Amino acid sequence: MTVDWRSLADAKRQSILDAIPAKWRIQTPIPSPSELRDVTGYIEQFLTARELEITGNDAVDIAKRTTSGNWTAVEVTEAFCHRAALAHQLVNCLHEVFFEAAIEDAKRLDAYFAEHKKPVGPLHGLPVSLKDQFHVRGVETTMGYVGWIGTRGVSESELVRELRNLGAVLYCKTSVPATLMAGETVNHIIKYTTNPQNRLLSCGGSSGGEGALIALRGSPGGFGTDIGGSVRIPAVFNGLYGIRPSSGRIPYEGAANSMDGQNTILSVIGPLATTARSLRLLFKAVLSQEPWFHDPLVLEVPWREDIEREVGALVKQSAADPSQLAFAVMHDDGITKPHPPIARAMKTVEETLKKLGHRVIEWKPPSHRIAVDLADQAFTSDGGADIEYHFGLSGEEPAPQIIVATKLTHKTALEVAALNVKKREYQKLYMEYWNSTAELTGTGRPVDGLICPCAPHAAVIPQKYRHVGYTSFVNLLDYTSVVFPVTRADKTIDVSQPRTDFLSEADKLTYEDYDADIYHGAPAGLQIVGRRFQEEKMLALAEYIGEKVQEASQ
Amino acid sequence: MTVDWRSLADAKRQSILDAIPAKWRIQTPIPSPSELRDVTGYIEQFLTARELEITGNDAVDIAKRTTSGNWTAVEVTEAFCHRAALAHQLVNCLHEVFFEAAIEDAKRLDAYFAEHKKPVGPLHGLPVSLKDQFHVRGVETTMGYVGWIGTRGVSESELVRELRNLGAVLYCKTSVPATLMAGETVNHIIKYTTNPQNRLLSCGGSSGGEGALIALRGSPGGFGTDIGGSVRIPAVFNGLYGIRPSSGRIPYEGAANSMDGQNTILSVIGPLATTARSLRLLFKAVLSQEPWFHDPLVLEVPWREDIEREVGALVKQSAADPSQLAFAVMHDDGITKPHPPIARAMKTVEETLKKLGHRVIEWKPPSHRIAVDLADQAFTSDGGADIEYHFGLSGEEPAPQIIVATKLTHKTALEVAALNVKKREYQKLYMEYWNSTAELTGTGRPVDGLICPCAPHAAVIPQKYRHVGYTSFVNLLDYTSVVFPVTRADKTIDVSQPRTDFLSEADKLTYEDYDADIYHGAPAGLQIVGRRFQEEKMLALAEYIGEKVQEASQ
C-alpha cells in the first residue's frame, strides 16, 4: 500500500489554517518576502491597541499582571492566540493550534483567581508556546513527520503537566524540521518557516517555529530542545534570548524525540524568550515543580538562589571594580570564520566589555575539530535507522537540509563505548583548559564565561547551513549556554573582505555564501558559554552583557 | 609467542609477599580454614598493644587524633601497614603493597604538622586503602589481569590526587576479581580472597580485598567501585558499612575500569568502613575537593549540610514522634528468597523499627525481573569483547565465577539506544511507585528508605553466587544504597525450612545451597536504599538503624 504522503501533508497544512478562527484570517494578500522582508512591524496592523499593549510585554511583565489579577488570563490568552494566528499566516510557524482549549483553561484560571484571590502558580495566566515534541492531551504530535499525522497523545509530557500546575496557558505547538536534525525548519507539512525579520532567510532550527513565533511576539516565551544547537540557533537567528542548560535540569520525560535512547549526547530542553529575565522566570518555575521526582533523568538540583545572589553581587561590585569579572572571547573556532555581521557582533561585545574594564582573554581551546567529529559520530551512531523508520512510515522524502546518516556509520556497542570514552577525554581536556585560565584572569577564578558565535552567519540563507560546530561543541561538553542579541546585519557596514586563508572547505563555502544585501536586517547575536550546571550564573551574565551592549549601541 | 601466564601470575603473587618486610611475616603455620574459620581474633596475637589500640579505632576517631597531632601519621601508618601485611597473609587481600612510600608520606605529614601546627586536611594521617582500579604513581595496576602485570601508572587517578590533598596516607591496593564482574574475588595472581570471619566463604566482590582488609582492621576505610553491587556485596559479606552513591558524586576520572564507556549503567565509587560515620567522613572529604572541576562526569553537588541537618532533626524528633519516619521492607525480590540468616536479619530490622514506632510498609515494586534482565543486557552489551581482549593479553583462562558474555549479546547502537529507553521507562515506573507510597506512610512523604537484602545469602560459598539482582536493581535505577551490619549466621537458629514454592531456578538452587553449618558465623547485613542523590540522607538513616539494631541485640 502506498500512502499518498503529499495529500496527507497538504490536508494537515490546511487543517492548521482551518483551526484559526475566521476573524483572525488575513484577508488581504500578504506581500512576498522580496517585497517585504521584515514582517515584525507589518503584523501590528491586524491587532488592536490593547492586544499590542499586552503582547508588547515580556513574560515577566505579563506574569506580574496576570498573577496579581491586573490582567485576566482570558484577555492575555486571546491576544496571544490572535497574534500567533497572524504569525503563522506570515511565516508558517505553527504545527498545532488549540486556541479554544486555551481560552477554556484561561477561564478556569480567572475563576480560580476570583475565588481564591491568588494565582495558581508563578506562571498563572501566562501563555507559553511549545515545540512540537511535547504531547498535549487531544492534540497531535507530528514532529514534522507526515507519517505521524493522526497520532494523538494520550498522556501529556511531564513538562506540560508542570506548566499547567504553574498556571501557564498552552495554546499552540510550533514547527520543527522532521528529524530535528537541521538548523532550518522545513517539513512537508508547513513547508518552510521563514525568518520574521528577513523572510529571505531561515528562522533557524530545530526549534525554529518557537524562534519565529516569539520574534513576532506571538508568544512571550516557549520551550524548545537542543541537541546540537536547536534552542540557540533559532534564538540567535531571531534576536532572542535562549538557554541550553546542561542535561538533567528540565524534564524531558514523556516528550517525543529523535533517536531516543542515544545517550552519548543528550537532547535537553530550554526556554526561548525576548528577555533573559523571562528565561529565568520559566526555568525557575519549572524547577519549583521538583521535576526530579517525576523524571528519572533530572537531577535534584533546585534553582540555586545562593549562586544567583553571588553572581548578582559580582555584577554589582563590578561597576566599582570591573576587574572582578573576566571573560574569554573566541572570534572563530578554527574551522569556519564568521561572516562580517557576526565578526562585528563579536568585536562589539569585546569592546564593550573592555570599556567596562573587565578582563577579556583570547580563548585558545583544545581543537574544536575533535568536538565536531565526536558530535557527528554521536548523531549518526545508529546509521540513520531511527530517521529512516520515521520517514518510512509515510514514504516521504527527506528535505535536502536534513542530515541523513548512512548505514556505514552504524556503530556496535563496543564502538559506542569507545566514542563515550573519547567524549569524556575531550571533556576532561576542555575542563583542564578552562581551569588553566585562572592564571590569566586576575580574579583568582577561571573565566566567568566564554563569548563566541552561535553560527558563522546570521539567520542563514536556505540550504546554506554548512557548519554547526559553534553550537555542537557545547552539547558535546554538556555545558550551559545562553544566547543574547547584539546587533543586526547591515549591508552598509558588513562588507566582506577578500580572503584566501580558508580554514576548511566549509569555511570557503561559507565565505562565498555571504551576501551583504540578502543578509541585511538579520539579527546577529552571540552566546555566552559556561561550564556544566552554570545556568543561574550564565543567565545573570547574559542579562548583564545584553544590557550593556544595548546601552553601548544607543 | 605464548606467554606463560601461570609463571607471570606466580611471580607477581610472590612479589606481593616479598614487599612485606620480613619482620611482619607470619612464621608459624597458619591454621587451615576448616581448622579455624574466623581469623579476626587470630590476627591480634601478632600485633603490639599499641598497634591494637590504634587499629581498633574507626576512621573518625583516628582522624580526630591525627588531625589534632595527638597521634603521628607515621605511627598510625606503620600500625596499619603491619596489620594489612598480616591480613594479606591470612586471606590474600592485597594486590599492591607500598608501605615504604606510605611511611615517607606520613613523615612529610608529621613534618607539616610540626611546622604549621595544623593538619593538611580532614584526612591528615589517615591510612586509606584502594581497590586495585586506582592508579598510584610508581605502583602497578593489574585489576586481577595477568596481562596487565608490569604496567605502572604514570599519572594518578583523580581520587588519589584528592585523597593526597586531603592528607590521607595511601599504602596498599586491594584484590579484585579480573573483569570486576563477579561477587567473589578470584584471579590467577592472588588466587582467592577468603572471608576473614569464615574462611570457608567468599569475601565478596568485586571490591572484595577492601571488604576483607577492613574486616581484619588492616584498613580503617577504603574505596571500592560498584556497577552491580561491588561495594555493597563485600561490605555486607564482611559486616561493614558501605555506600553505593548515585553516579556523578565521587570522581572516577583516571581510574581503570572494565568495559569503559558502557554508559547504560555506570560504575560508581564508594567507600567501605567499619562505621557509617567513617563513610561520611570520607565521602564529605572528597566532595570538599570540588571534584566537578576535575572530572567531567561529576556533578556540582557539594555535600548538602541542609539535608544532613534536616534528616538529623527528623531522626532526633522521631524519639518523641516516631511516626515521622517511615520505611519499606522487601523480604524477597520475587526471584530468589533469601537464606534463613538473611531472612532473620530482615525480621530483626523490621521488628526493631516497628518497636521504635516507625511506620513500616511492605514494598510491592514493579517486577524486579525486568531490572535484572536490563542490567544483564547492559553488562553484556559488548558481547564480552572488552573482557576477551584483556584476558587475551596473557592468554589466561577466566575463573568460573566470571560472567563472560557471548558474541551473541553484542548489541548495535540502535539496540543500545533501545535498552537505554527501556531502562528509563523502568526508572520512571519505579519512581512512580516510590511516589505512590506517600499515601501509605502518614508522614506526607513517600517512604524514607527501602530496607532489603543485598544478596540471598550471607558471604557466599565459593562458586554459589547465583543471583545478583538484590544489588543490581539499585545500579539500574542509579539509586543510593548504604549497607549496614545486622547479625551473623547462626546454625542453632537459622534452620532451613522445607520449601517447594520456588520462584525461579536460581531460587531453587540457592535454597539447596544453604548449609547452616558452613554459613555459621558469616555476617548477615542488609541495605537501605534511597532514591537518586540521597547520600546524605541514607548515610544518616543507615547509621540510625545500625545503632538501633545493635542496641536491640544487646
Please check whether residue B33 lies inside any domain of the structure. Answer: no
What's the mean pLDDT when you consider all of chain A? 97
pTM over the 0.90 mark: yes
Residues B257 and B324 in one domain: no
Structural domain ending residue among the three candidates A293, A317, A337: A293
Q: Are residues B320 and B279 in the same domain?
A: no
Residue to substitute from B424, B475, B535, interface A, most A β-carbons within 10 A: B424
The answer to whether the beta carbons of residues A67 and A167 sit under 8 Å apart is yes
Catalytic member of A129, A230, A247, A394: A230
pLDDT score, position A3: 63
Q: Running DSSP on this structure, what letter comes out for residue A157?
A: -
Query: Per-residue pLDDT tens for B467-501?
Result: 999 999 999 999 999 999 999 999 999 999 999 99
Residues B256 and B349 in one domain: no
Q: Do A417 and B259 touch (CB under 8 A)?
A: yes
Question: What is the reported pLDDT for B420?
Answer: 98
Alpha-carbon distances of A494 from A198, A339, A518, A532, B471, rounded to whole Å: 16, 8, 12, 34, 63
Q: Which of B129, B157, B206, B219 is catalytic?
A: B206
How big is the CA angle at B223 (ends A413 and B221), to the nearest 5 degrees?
A: 165
Cell numbers for A265: 549526547
Neighbours of B249 (CB within 10 A): 24
ipTM, two decimals, is 0.97
Buried b (16+ CB within 10 A) or exposed e, A93-109: bbbbbbbebbbebbeeb
Same domain flag for A267 and A400: no
The active-site residue out of B175, B230, B246, B394 is B230
Domain check: are A252 and A158 in the same one?
yes
Q: Considering only CB atoms, which chain B residues are within 8 Å of A431?
A: 293-294, 296
Same domain, B213 and B83: yes
B367 with B437, same domain: the answer is: yes
Average pLDDT over residues B443-464: 97
pLDDT score of A402:
87
A64 is catalytic: no
Query: Across residues B506-517, what is the average pLDDT?
Result: 97
Q: Is A228 annotated as a binding residue?
A: yes
Residues A354 and A467 occupy one common structural domain: yes
Cβ(B365)–Cβ(B430) below 8 Å: yes
pLDDT for the residue numbered A59: 98
- In the sheet where A94-97 sits, what is the strand order? A94-97, A169-174, A127-131, A221-226, A268-273, A241-244, A480-488, A523-530, A449-452, A326-329, A359-362
DSSP-assigned letter for residue B339: P
Amino acid identity, position B496: S
Domain range holding B545? 305-552
Determine whether A354 is an active site residue: no
Q: What is the pLDDT of residues A133-148, one digit of tens each?
A: 999 999 999 999 999 9
pLDDT tens, residue order, chain A (554 aa): 456 999 999 999 999 999 999 999 999 999 999 999 999 999 999 999 999 999 999 999 999 999 999 999 999 999 999 999 999 999 999 999 999 999 999 999 999 999 999 999 999 999 999 999 999 999 999 999 999 999 887 799 999 999 999 999 999 999 999 999 999 999 999 999 999 999 999 999 999 999 999 999 999 999 999 999 999 999 999 999 999 999 999 999 999 999 999 999 999 999 999 999 999 999 999 999 999 999 999 999 999 999 999 999 999 999 999 999 999 999 999 999 999 999 999 999 999 999 999 999 999 999 999 999 999 999 999 999 999 999 999 999 999 988 778 888 999 999 999 999 999 999 999 999 999 999 999 999 999 999 999 999 999 999 999 999 999 999 999 999 999 999 999 999 999 999 999 999 999 999 999 999 999 999 999 999 999 999 999 999 999 999 999 998 87
Q: pLDDT band for position B3 (50/70/90)?
A: low
Looking at B240, B270, B293, the residue that finishes a domain is: B293
A411 interaction partners in chain B (CB closer than 8 Å):
412-413
Window from B29-43, B150-164, B486-500 with minimum mean pLDDT: B150-164
On the question of pLDDT at B518 being above 90, the answer is yes
Contact B263 A417 (CB under 8 A): yes
A316 in the same domain as A289: no
At A529 the pLDDT is 98
Residue A298 located in a structural domain: no
pLDDT digits (tens, 9 = 90+) for B337-379: 999 999 999 999 999 999 999 999 999 999 999 999 999 999 9
Residue A278 belongs to a domain:
yes
Q: Which of B131, B337, B464, B537 is catalytic?
A: B131
Nearest CA in chain A to B386: A414
- Phi and psi dihedrals of B245, rounded to 5? -75, 165
Q: Please count the structural domains in chain A.
A: 2
Please report whether residue B29 resides in a domain.
Answer: no
Question: Of A273, A293, A313, which residue sits at a domain end?
Answer: A293
Residues A285 and A327 placed together within one structural domain of the fold: no
Find out whether the peptide bond into B206 is cis, omega within 30 degrees of 0. yes
- pLDDT category at B406 given cuts 50, 70, 90 is confident
Distance, CA of B130 to CA of B156 (rounded, Å): 12
Assign B526 to helix, strand or coil: strand
Instruction: Indicate the residue of A260, A300, A414 with minimum beta-carbon distance to B421.
Output: A260
Which class for B355: exposed (0-12), middle (13-18), buried (19 or more C-beta within 10 A)? exposed
Are residues A261 and B292, on separate chains, in Cβ contact within 8 Å?
no
Query: Can you name the residues that pair with B221 across neighbouring β-strands?
Result: B273
With cut-offs at 50, 70 and 90, classify the pLDDT of residue B151. Answer: confident
- At A2 the pLDDT is 59
How confident is the model at residue A154, as a pLDDT?
74
- Asked whether residue B30 is domain-assigned, the answer is no
Q: How many residues are listed for chain A in this entry?
A: 554
Q: What are phi and psi of B547, to 5 degrees?
A: -65, -45
In a domain, B298, yes or no: no
Which residue of chain A comes nearest to B420, CA vs CA?
Answer: A261
Q: Is residue A536 part of a domain?
A: yes
Across the interface, whether the CB atoms of A431 and B532 are under 8 A apart is answered no
Q: How far does A469 lie from chain B, in Å, by closest CA?
A: 20
The residue with cell 545584553 is: A546
Q: What is the CATH number of the domain that holds A84?
A: 3.90.1300.10
CA distances from A114 to A69, A127, A165, A167, A434 (A): 8, 19, 18, 14, 53
- What's the average model confidence in pLDDT over B314-325? 93
Q: Among this protein's residues, is A207 annotated catalytic?
A: no
- Note whether A131 and A266 are same-domain residues: yes
Domain presence at residue A488: yes
CB contact under 8 A, B300 and A532: yes
Q: Are B203 and B63 in a shared domain?
A: yes
